[in-house]
């Protein structure tokens, strides 16, 4: 009798969650984008929103909530009701890098979120102006060692992906480069093309047009294999810096305490959307690769990224108050 009562209680407790997943969504869904319109995060958010709207039968609206390196949008999602109607187009940096950069965050980067699925990944590319003397990664490292503290590398700001890739390069190559932070990639690229700074570890989606137009020259990509957009450009590891590999990615998350049935439903819908031909057609020409996975795998990916970046950030002495 006792076993029957326990089974009945467990079934009763599970029913509201199952009903929520089946009746979801009951109104338009919001995807908060932590950066302004036009960038890679925004492009990804709008592409997956279009797919989800078609599959869920409700509007899926992207709202740009930039600020504090993505923390403004993340904090709002962390406080939202865990009913799946407020989601975050997130990036691995928000959960694996920000906790090591910021003295205080308005949320717990792991405990305050339900992780649904990764969506797309991308590599960075080491780019220089066409007139830069070094023709390869090896030549650049040799030049930096001949003149420590003389060569500069631009970034889109302190603590950004582009900045930290440069810091990792410094550590692994044993070179002293001077970091020049800008307020965004656009002004950094302008100065790089003008020769005011020596190099930049830009993201491929941001740099691809400039490389293909000849305004920048690519020396190496940060992934484990060559980019299909630059098949002639070696990986940085292949070019002589063994073990160097950096891959960044965007994904979908919601508030903590979302029912597991709802997380599974959204995982399946988002994976279907990310592998759809129209989504791929929008993302792959920009240098993104499709990388869906289970919620559990997404958490493992974030843990691995956190372990990788913590010592780099500490060595660089980068902090943001």
Give first-to-last CA distance, the chain, whole Å. Answer: 58
Low-confidence ranges of the chain (pLDDT < 50): 4-11, 14-15
How high is the pLDDT of residue 139?
97
Stated as kind and residue range, the H or E segment containing 143 is: helix 137-146
**Model pLDDT for residues 39-84, shown as the tens digit of each residue:** 889 999 999 999 999 999 999 999 999 888 889 999 999 999 999 9
> How far apart, in whole angstroms, are the C-alpha atoms of residue 287 and residue 264?
28
Q: What is the pTM of this model?
A: 0.84
Which tokens go with 128? 């220089």
What is the helix (H) or strand (E) element at residue 123, kind and residue range? strand 113-128
Distance (Å, rounded) from C-alpha 92 to C-alpha 252? 10
The CA distance from 235 to 202, in Å, is 14
Handedness of CA 41, 45, 51, 56 (dihedral sign): positive
pLDDT for 19: 56
SS3 49: helix
What token pair was written down for 307? 């372990």
Contact present, 205 and 122 (Cβ < 8 Å): yes
Tokens of 19: 């009903």
CA atoms of 229 and 287, how far apart (whole Å) = 7
Q: Which residues neighbour 66 within 8 Å (Cβ) at sequence distance 6 or greater? A: 33, 34, 35, 36, 72, 73
pLDDT tens track for 82-108:
999 999 999 999 999 999 999 899 999
Burial 28-46 (b: 16+ CB within 10 A, else e): ebbbbbbbeeebbbbbbbb
Structural contact between residues 33 and 42, judged by C-beta atoms closer than 8 angstroms: yes
Distance CA 141, CA 220 (A): 12
Q: Alpha carbon of 298 to those of 8, 37, 267: distances in Å?
A: 33, 25, 11
* CB of 124 closer than 8 Å to CB of 267: no
Whole-number pLDDT of residue 8: 47
Long-range Cβ pairs for the range 12-19 (8 Å, 24+): 17/259, 17/260, 17/261, 17/262, 18/261
Q: Alpha-carbon Rg of the chain, whole angstroms?
A: 21
Give which of 224, 183, 228, 219 is closest to 200, Cα–Cα. Answer: 219
């Amino acid at each position: 009798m006792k076993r029957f009562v326990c089974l009945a209680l467990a079934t009763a407790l599970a029913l509201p969650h199952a009903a929520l997943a089946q009746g979801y969504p009951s109104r338009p869904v919001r995807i908060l984008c932590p950066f302004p319109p036009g960038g890679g995060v925004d492009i990804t958010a709008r592409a997956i929103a279009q797919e989800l709207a078609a599959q869920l039968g409700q509007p899926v609206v992207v709202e740009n909530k930039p600020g504090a390196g993505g923390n403004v949008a993340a904090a709002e999602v962390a406080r939202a009701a865990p009913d799946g109607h407020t989601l975050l187009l997130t990036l691995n940096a928000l959960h694996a890098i920000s906790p090591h950069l910021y003295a205080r965050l308005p949320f717990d980067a792991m405990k305050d979120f339900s992780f649904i699925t990764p969506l797309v990944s991308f590599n960075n590319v080491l780019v220089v102006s066409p007139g830069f003397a070094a023709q390869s990664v090896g030549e650049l490292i040799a030049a930096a060692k001949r003149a420590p503290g003389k060569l500069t590398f631009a970034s889109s700001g302190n603590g950004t992906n582009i900045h930290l890739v440069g810091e990792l390069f410094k550590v692994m190559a044993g070179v002293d480069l001077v970091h020049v932070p800008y307020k965004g990639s656009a002004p950094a690229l302008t100065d790089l093309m003008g020769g005011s700074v020596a190099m930049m570890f830009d993201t491929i989606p941001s740099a691809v047009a400039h490389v293909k137009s000849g305004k920048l020259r690519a020396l190496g990509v940060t992934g484990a294999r060559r980019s299909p957009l630059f098949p002639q450009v070696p990986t940085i590891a292949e070019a002589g810096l063994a073990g160097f590999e950096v891959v960044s990615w965007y994904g979908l998350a919601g508030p903590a305490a979302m029912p597991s049935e709802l997380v599974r439903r959204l995982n399946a819908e988002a994976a279907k959307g990310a592998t759809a031909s129209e989504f791929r057609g929008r993302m792959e020409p920009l240098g993104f690769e499709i990388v869906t996975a289970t919620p559990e795998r997404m958490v493992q990916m974030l843990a691995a990224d956190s372990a990788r970046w913590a010592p780099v950030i500490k060595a660089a002495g980068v902090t943001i108050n």
